[in-house]
A and B are shown apart, each in its own frame.
Chain A
Amino acid sequence: MTKELTYLKYLKQDRLPHQWCPGCGNGIVLKLACLAMEKLNFPKKGTVMVSGIGCSGRSAGFFDLDSVHTAHGRALPVAEGIKLANEELNVMVISGDGDLFGIGGNHLLHASRRNTDITVICISNAIYGMTGGQCSPTTEISSKTLTTPRGNVDTPVNVQALITGHNCFYARSTTFHFNHAMKCIFEALQHKGFSFVEIKSQCITNDGRRRGFKNSYEMLMSYKENYKINNNTNALEHNEIGIIK
């Protein structure tokens, strides 16, 4: 074998395969984060990964960096503390939508207000996957989950308005739009100040299955159909992906 996956240097390879379900989008986001870091030539020493609780919360443990697996919802204040205590460090947060918008919603509001120089990658799968598939803050209206058997009635959280309202970097992408998602993370890492990347990701086991998807490929394709890239806007529509600086 002549070719090697060079981005794997950012991961603890002896910890692979990761424990996520077959077809889970978290692995793709893990790869995206590594590729973006590699592109920027981030030093392994001097970069810190922070995550919350949930499926995506386990991602920090796979990085071959100093990493912190915080309590549920508390990734942001921990990351802020790290960054403020040592401003030389590159601090990245990878966590899920339930963790960042649900239990940790207040911290998101205030971390963006304080504009601390951290990069947050949110793996937004619109479900509480680890606990079996309950409705999450980003679950779409009328979507069926374990706790909304007749369809969700609540409006999903508008993170874009929250982040851009504080004049912070916001980007949205999906696991299908691989190169676009990488560009989002790449630019977010370069952004000075609070940057937030929301990556729509598939959970076949506890979400897609209930919504009639046969496999995670179909979910990936649904992102292809439902999301269009928009590069020139200050406010993304719900079916658009792009970067707002």
Chain B
Amino acid sequence: MTKRLLQGNQAIALAAVKAGLNFFAGYPITPASEILHELVNQETIKVLQMEDEIASINAILGASLAGAKSMTATSGPGFSLMQESIGHAHMMEVPLVIVNVQRVGPSTGMPTFPAQGDILQCKYGSHGDYFPIVFYPNSVAELYEFTFNAFNAAEESLSPVILLSDGYVGHLYETIEEVDYPISERTLAPLGTSNRHFTGLTHEDSMPVTSDPEVHRKLIKHLEAKQKKVSRKYNNYEYIENKSSDILLITYGALSRAAYDLKEDFAIYRPVRMFPIVEKIKEIAKKYKEIVVMEMNAGQYANEVERLLHREVKLISIMGGKIDLNEIWTKLRRIKKGK
């Protein structure tokens, strides 16, 4: 075990190599390019700079089917381009890791500023129903650890797993310990060993069945059950109890680092596995009168939490990539007074 000063993006790249990465395809984008930069210098893996993000995800999809542990890294605009193929990979059950270092959007937005605007896109971005596993760490050490988890979850669930980060955590330098976490091995037999057909069409026994609703229902049920089963292994969240407070502050990613300064006054809950939502939150939320979700978007996770808890959830929205503790305090005070 060695200690190293690493940047967030660098940590993802190095952890990926240790987690068994064989193939990386990507397209330059701020603020995720450093992952590509780091990986081209690694001799053990194949790196391809593609013509766009669509080609990138499709190349890793092919490589993964051919037996290579594969990953791509991008930011919001590229992630939008990848959506079709993410759905496709869920349908074909291909293990992939997709890193999304978020920046301010929509569209080109503010490329060098962090945001958390892709939360719902992770879950609902592609058409049709699918049940992705999404991790969102908030420190360099956690990015390192959850890169392993993302690879393992992908192999176990045979699905694309999304590792969220943001421009702030991605560019943050911290000293971390390079731990060798356990690695899940590949179970899917590589291409060229059998006569399977991988298709995005609704299928049964790898053969397309495009006119039987029962087959489709069975397939989607299978996908859901599989994701639920695997995600149980990764019930990752952080909970800082505060018995003197009756407000639970739910926050994650870069913004949650600012929230640590508020732990004297509020209880803090930080999901790391964003989707499927960790059920523990139901139990924790019962202890508090008020639930406040604080995030760097217009309330994406707040809506999901509200839907899960069936009760009112207040929102503190910190937009535009600027994290200011004074602003957070002012907004929290207003909520405190309001009740």
Produce 1/0 per residue, A105-119, CB < 8 A to B: 011011000000000
Within 8 Å CB of A106, what residues of B?
A: 51-52, 55
CB–CB B52/A81 < 8 A? no
CA distance A60 to B198 in the complex (A): 9
CA distance A48 to B62 in the complex (A): 11
Q: Give the residue of B46, B55, B193 whose beta carbon is less than 8 angstroms from that of A85.
A: B46
CA distance A164 to B269 in the complex (A): 60
Produce 1/0 per residue, B189-209, CB < 8 A to A: 011111111111100000110
Which B residue's beta carbon lies closest to that of A49? B197
CB–CB B208/A61 < 8 A? yes
CB-CB contacts below 8 Å: A91-122 with B? 106-107, 109-110
A79 interface residue per 8 A CB criterion: yes
Produce 1/0 per residue, B7-45, CB < 8 A to A: 000000000000000110100000000000000000000
**Which of B63-71, B115-123, B304-312, B329-337 lines the interface with chain A?**
B63-71
A143 to chain B, nearest CB (A): 30
Interface of B is mostly: mixed
CA distance A77 to B65 in the complex (A): 13
CB–CB B195/A64 < 8 A? yes
**Which of A66-74, A175-183, A219-227, A235-243 lines the interface with chain B?**
A66-74
CB-CB contacts below 8 Å: B42-95 with A? 46, 48, 50-52, 54-56, 58-68, 70, 84-85, 88, 92
CB–CB A68/B191 < 8 A? yes
CB–CB A74/B68 < 8 A? no
CB-CB contacts below 8 Å: A20-69 with B? 44-48, 50, 58, 60-61, 63-69
Within 8 Å CB of A229, what residues of B?
A: none
CA distance A77 to B57 in the complex (A): 8
Which B residue's beta carbon lies closest to that of A46? B192
B337 to chain A, nearest CB (A): 52
CA distance A85 to B46 in the complex (A): 8
Chain A residues with a Cβ closer than 8 Å to the other chain, count:
38
Within 8 Å CB of A211, what residues of B?
A: none
CB–CB A82/B65 < 8 A? yes
A141 interface residue per 8 A CB criterion: no
Known contacts A45-B194, A74-B85, A89-B66; A81/B59 CB under 8 A = yes
CA distance A70 to B199 in the complex (A): 7
CA distance A67 to B206 in the complex (A): 10
Q: Give the residue of B25, B66, B88 whose beta carbon is less than 8 angstroms from that of A70.
A: B88
CA distance A15 to B199 in the complex (A): 15
CB–CB A61/B207 < 8 A? yes
Which A residue's beta carbon lies closest to that of B208? A61
Most chain B CB within 10 A, of A60, A61, A67, A86, is at A86
CA distance A23 to B244 in the complex (A): 78
Number of A-B pairs whose CB atoms are under 8 Å? 131
A88 interface residue per 8 A CB criterion: yes
Q: Give the residue of A69, A78, A88 whose beta carbon is less than 8 angstroms from that of B197.
A: A69
Within 8 Å CB of A161, what residues of B?
A: none
CA distance A177 to B195 in the complex (A): 30
CB–CB A86/B67 < 8 A? yes
CA distance A85 to B50 in the complex (A): 15
A214 interface residue per 8 A CB criterion: no
A68 to chain B, nearest CB (A): 5
CB–CB B193/A45 < 8 A? yes
CA distance A88 to B65 in the complex (A): 14
CA distance A26 to B153 in the complex (A): 40
CB–CB B66/A85 < 8 A? yes
Within 8 Å CB of A86, what residues of B?
A: 66-68, 190-192
CA distance A68 to B64 in the complex (A): 12
CA distance A47 to B55 in the complex (A): 22
Within 8 Å CB of B191, what residues of A?
A: 48, 66, 68, 82, 86, 89
Smallest CB-CB A-B distances: 3 pairs = A81-B62, A78-B62, A81-B59
Chosen A-B contacts, 7 in total, with CB atoms closer than 8 Å, are: A71-B58, A77-B25, A81-B48, A84-B48, A86-B68, A107-B51, A107-B55
